[in-house]
Copies of this chain bind each other. A is one copy, B any other.
Amino acid sequence: MKVVALAGGVGGAKLVQGLAGTLPPDSLSVVVNTGDDFEHLGLRICPDLDTVVYTLAGLADPQRGWGRADESWNFLQALGSLGGPTWFRIGDRDLAMHVERTHRMRAGQRLSRVTADLCRTLGVSVRVLPMSDDPVSTMVLTEEGELSFQEYFVARRCTPRVQGFRFQGAQRARPAPGVLQAIETAALVVFCPSNPWVSLDPILAVSGMRQALVSKTVVAVSPIVGGRAIKGPAAKMFAELGVEPTALAVAEHYNCLLKAFVLDQEDRDQEREIAALGLQTLVAQTIMRSIEDRLALARAVIEFAQGLLVGEVSV
């Protein structure tokens, strides 16, 4: 069974790692959000892509949730001494990724090609695809005006109240080479437990993505558990936009794209309402603390989907 996962940062990367350990090689493709990407110090920084790649390569820091394990910070310290900007924290080892990627892209290679090559070098066998090679910038509309994503997320620590989002360039952006083909040949598309507003919506905003997904079996895993986001500002965003942050709200957010929805045990009281949206439901343990949790959730999602697919054929 070919599977495509749509992923943003940490939560997405965790489920992707579980799926990679569950599915046979070559049957998993991951489409990763690049709306957070930005240019910093003249370098192309791709936070979500790096989180997915580092996680799959076994290089991710397990505590911090971003960057590499066993990291050192001598570059950043020296940069500060030179009067350079230190608000965006880049570790010494992590920096190699940004420098090498930027260098290859300046030489004319596209992000998708560079990502594929670096994955191969790092021994990552899962196909990791940026959502697009074209620039898309997630802009956060706030009470204090429009902020670029990193300005909102890192520099302002998500404090300004959110009023909406804009994915600059998304309408002109084409899916990266391989994205549409991967979706077309996939039996299952998984929306990972990533932030709906700023991790998956940018992917869905790329031209042609929604059309490609409309006829597919799409299962979303809720990033909201017990009214809270497991990590990041998703719950805060729902609340500030006037929507109670619940698994149900996530299911409603993705709306007609979904065939099925996976919610946490803690939210099982919402199962009936979610089912009332016309969705198949699975209640599972969605919080992934250990690698075993990741594998267990991935197996549960795959088994659930297999049941759905068999059901579809037999009905």
Contact = CB atoms under 8 A, between A and B. Distances in A.
Interface of A: 41-43, 68, 71-72, 74-79, 81-84, 91-97, 99-100, 102-103, 106, 117-118, 121-122
Contact of A41 (B68, B71, B82, B99): B99
Q: How many copies does the complex hold?
A: 2
A42 to B, nearest CB: 4
B82 A97 contact: yes
A118 B82 contact: yes
Contacts of A78: 68, 92-97
Contacts of A117: 83
A107 to B, nearest CB: 9
18 contacts: A42-B42, A42-B99, A42-B102, A72-B74, A74-B91, A75-B75, A78-B95, A78-B97, A79-B99, A79-B100, A81-B122, A82-B97, A82-B122, A83-B118, A83-B121, A84-B100, A84-B103, A92-B92
Contacts of A95: 75, 78, 92, 95
A223 to B, nearest CB: 30
B72 A103 contact: no
Given A42-B106, A99-B42, A121 B81 contact: yes
Nearest to A43: B99
A44 to B, nearest CB: 10
Given A43-B99, A72-B92, A81-B96, 12 more contacts: A42-B42, A68-B78, A74-B93, A75-B95, A75-B96, A75-B99, A76-B96, A78-B93, A78-B96, A83-B121, A92-B92, A92-B95
